[in-house]
Structure 1
Amino acid sequence: MSGFPDDPGFFGIIKEMPLFFKLFGGTIFLVVVGSFLYVIIRGLWTWTSNNASEVLTCTAGVVDKRTEVWGGTGNSRSRTSYYVTFELVDGSRIELPVRGDRFGYLVVGDQGELTYQGTRFKDFRR
């Protein structure tokens, strides 16, 4: 048996809060949970979509390379994402994320066979 039989606990505090704080807190909670769900669902959708796509190999050329550096404030380390834009024979372009070790081997102007699946870079052979 508890020593505090009339202690309402956490829900007692919530019950005594003004309506504005309840609505504001609930809205913040829904935005945070909704954001997490959106990121998870979007990631799963992209992964599933890529898996369902066929692996394509076509003649292409490297037309551009770029990096995106993020993080690195205070004591946290920075991270770099690498992207390469390929131009296909029909003139269309596709930008694919690549690993850093592959990024260094690709040079603007290279021509070869690009292999990719959906938005996944697989290989490029000169």
Structure 2
Amino acid sequence: MNGAVAVYQSGTVIGALGFLFLTQPAVSQHTTSLETMLGTKLFERMPRKMILTDDGEALYSRVVSSVNILESTTNTYYRERNNPTSLVRLGSPNEFFLKKILSYLGEEDYIYRITFGSAHGLC
């Protein structure tokens, strides 16, 4: 997760540490570097919390969906690498898959990688 996003979502630099697995100085430095690069203040620093400025809100609304997609993608990749039994690879002609296989795929915690094509092309 991005440092500034984690700070915003947790409300404090200390709270963001649990998401990021970084030290407090590293998170503070990351946030300050981002503000310097953008040339604007993203947070109002209060004694026990950090509050987004208007510029911080504008930036957050632009990046949050991308950060969430990145986090979801990396989490999925991590699960696949560390639990290979959860990955199921299927190859099938499209019509056969839709008529014969799709109804058997359950809600279990499996990740399906499906490739469509002719039998010859899938070998």
TM beyond 0.5: no
Higher RCO (Cα < 8 Å, 6 or more apart): 1
Which of the two has higher C-alpha Rg? 1
TM-score, normalised by the number of residues in structure 2: 0.32
**Higher helix fraction (1 or 2):** 2
Which structure carries more strand by proportion? 1
